[in-house]
Chains A and B, each alone.
Chain A
Amino acid sequence: MKEGFRQSMAWLHTWSGLLVCWILLLVFCAGTASYYRNEITLWMQPELHGAAASKVTTEAAATAAQQAMQERAQGAPRWFISLPGERTPATQLGWSKPSKPGEKKRGRRGNFHSEMADPATGDVLSKPRETRGGEFLYRLHFDLHYMSAIWGRWIVGFCAMFMLVSIISGIVTHKRIFKDLFTFRPKKGQRSWLDAHNVTAVLALPYHLMITYTGLVTLMFLYMPSGATAAYKGDQDTFFAEAFPGGSNDRKVSGVAAPLTPFAPLVRQAEQHWGGTVERISVNHPGDANAVITLSRAAGRDMSSKQPSMDFDGVSGKLLSTNGDELPGASATHGVMYGLHIAHFGGPLLRALFFLSGLAGCAMVATGALLWAVKARQKQAKALAAGKRPSFGLRLVEALNIGSIAGIPIAFGAYFWANRLLTVRMENRPQEEIACFFGAWALAAIVAQLRPSRAMWRTQLAAGAFLFCALPMLNVFTTQSHLGVTLFMGQGPASVAAFDLVVLVLGMGLAYAAYKLKPVPAKAVKTAAATKPVISTMEAA
């Protein structure tokens, strides 16, 4: 450790940040994209773009959904219905298939059927291409991929803890945190990177702190189960039952058939009770005398992730219980912290601000990683000028920086391209799209390890820029809902147009970075010699 408190904190900031920054960058990018996970999924299913999202009241949508389920989900022990909202134009119908006697259990997914329906009529929408869409990016954010979800969550949690330590020590080590916010000295090599790191970090500091801490909170009972174990003497189930009270959902099948009561009056009653709209309807044992209908409120009424629900008798329509109307303090705090992380409460403007803050987070991680490499190169300046090779650590970090900072956009771009270019009726289509994501990224990362140079930065940034900028163009050839239709003719969902414009802007940012890395003229190379770090003249985009 260095002498002095501030120095030791600076050391801690550097190393806790550097060691996990490449995974953090992936987590940040995937998480930032996840704010628009519904929109990304919609973009990735052009077959649904034409389906005129007929605006209907929740009551009418519930009635149409009930009719559709009664026709199509005969004998299913459970129904799940998600009513359309601002960000999801279609009704989602799902049911668990009745298990036949003697049949092996196929796990939760194997027994589940789900489809999209027109909110007004309940008719099935034309079956879209199979894709994981934004859901893949959302899962990637905390489950990673190619490993069990639990391992992924522990790794992400470990990195998040490093990040929390790095943020706090970064604040502590900062003498002039306010002044630095207004300091940017461009084209000054290391100085510029330091300023860029400070600006992106400090500007959105409350966000960074909030998102890191609440990220840990979303999985806190996985990471820190000791409290529940101690207070409940090892009985976690009782704790969860007390901390997350459900309703009277545990009624058994009676075997006596009875018609299900209409949803609409229950929806009206629930909406009056909450002063908010109903989003989910689930039914246990539909068609049985002991059926239970549970309605849950849509997010957006407050910041909490915990939405209240109401249980009704499925035959008489009598209210059985209300759950979560009044939460005790700590539970409500937990709900708000969780809610802050997933930001389901946000309207379009707030969501955009979260997205921008997420991008600032990506930039903070990236500039921090670059700053380390620039500093290390300066330390080795003499040796490098004498014609020696950079140290192993420096070379590794520079290559990892290229492979992640320039490589992750390539992976995202490849994922979206694959969605448009793979044959629509391909087998295992979702997996193939994901394979394209990781294939492209692996290629970028490996090539970067082979030749971590300025030219490599330029090539990879340009590749990412091309993939992003050309997406709206690709849409013209592969869909009926390209910008020409969505923007200029004002038809089709606005979110599809917004997606095209956002990737275009991001792609232009990458292109600008690639442009700034244009080859240094021969004269300048002579004077600057090898002391100039490969990326020092690149400005913060």
Chain B
Amino acid sequence: MQAPAITEKMPRLRLSAAAIYRLGVASRSIAAIAGGYVLAALATMLLSVCLPMARAEAVMTATLLSFAIYTCAVLWVFATGSALRAWLGLLIPGAVIAAILQWTGALSWSLA
């Protein structure tokens, strides 16, 4: 991989452009694998609780969709402009879903 040329100087952190690039890739990889999974798991929970069908059916539907959600999250992480944006793009929807779940009382069970 070739590192993108970074023109502005970074006086405090004396990292080479290649090192910054690698850190970015590492950060995105963690975001994609772990963050993407957590987001997909939360979305699955939300759908399982909210979908207007029988309980088992809702779980079945949500779980079937979960891998598509995971894939989309991973693509987003690597498509977006910076690693920071990638993390924010996972954290914000994740936090919103978690808040809704907390509010409906579905989250406490899963964390136990």
Contacts and interface: CB of A to CB of B under 8 A. Distances in A.
Given A1-B24, A228-B63, A243-B60, A11 B42 contact: no
B67 A213 contact: yes
Given A217-B64, A224-B66, A230 B109 contact: yes
A169 B75 contact: yes
Contacts of A164: 67, 71
A319 interface: no
Interface residues of A, number: 40
Interface in B38-93: 40-42, 44-49, 53-64, 66-68, 70-71, 74-75, 78-79
A11 B47 CA distance: 32
A450 interface: no
Contacts of B41: 224, 226
B109 A229 contact: yes
A328 B71 contact: no
Nearest to A224: B66
Given A217-B64, A226-B45, A227-B47, A234 B79 contact: no
Contact of B4 (A3, A232, A243): A3
A5 B48 contact: no
B13 interface: no
B57 A230 contact: no
A54 interface: no
Given A231-B49, A331-B57, A9 B75 contact: yes
The A interface, classified by DSSP as helix, strand, loop or mixed, is: helix
A234 B55 CA distance: 13
A220 B56 contact: no
A256 interface: no
A169 B47 CA distance: 26
A165 B106 contact: no
Contacts of B79: 5, 8-9, 12
Interface string B2-14: 0010000000000
Given A11-B78, A165-B74, A231-B48, A226 B60 contact: no
Contact of A168 (B59, B75, B107): B75
Interface in A336-350: 337
Contacts of A329: 53, 57
B34 to A, nearest CB: 12
Nearest to A230: B45
A151 interface: no
Contacts of A228: 48, 59, 63
A334 interface: yes
A333 B44 contact: no
B31 to A, nearest CB: 12
Given A239-B56, A239-B59, A242-B56, A337 B45 contact: no
Interface in B13-42: 24-25, 28, 40-42
Contact of B71 (A5, A168, A217): A168
B67 A11 contact: no
A445 interface: no
Which of A11, A224, A243, A329 has the most C-beta atoms of chain B within 10 angstroms of its own C-beta? Answer: A224
A329 B53 CA distance: 10
B67 A224 contact: yes
A47 B60 CA distance: 45
Nearest to A212: B67
Contacts of B78: 1, 8-9, 11-12, 169
B55 A1 contact: no
A230 B109 CA distance: 7
Given A165-B75, A333-B64, A230 B107 contact: yes
Which of B4, B46, B60, B62 has the most C-beta atoms of chain A within 10 angstroms of its own C-beta? Answer: B60
Given A8-B78, A331-B56, A334-B64, 12 more contacts: A8-B79, A161-B67, A169-B78, A220-B64, A220-B66, A221-B63, A224-B66, A226-B41, A226-B48, A228-B48, A230-B48, A230-B106
Interface of A: 1-3, 5, 8-9, 11-12, 161, 164-165, 168-169, 172, 213, 216-217, 220-221, 223-224, 226-234, 239, 242-243, 328-331, 333-334, 337
Interface of B: 1, 4, 24-25, 28, 40-42, 44-49, 53-64, 66-68, 70-71, 74-75, 78-79, 101, 106-107, 109-110, 112
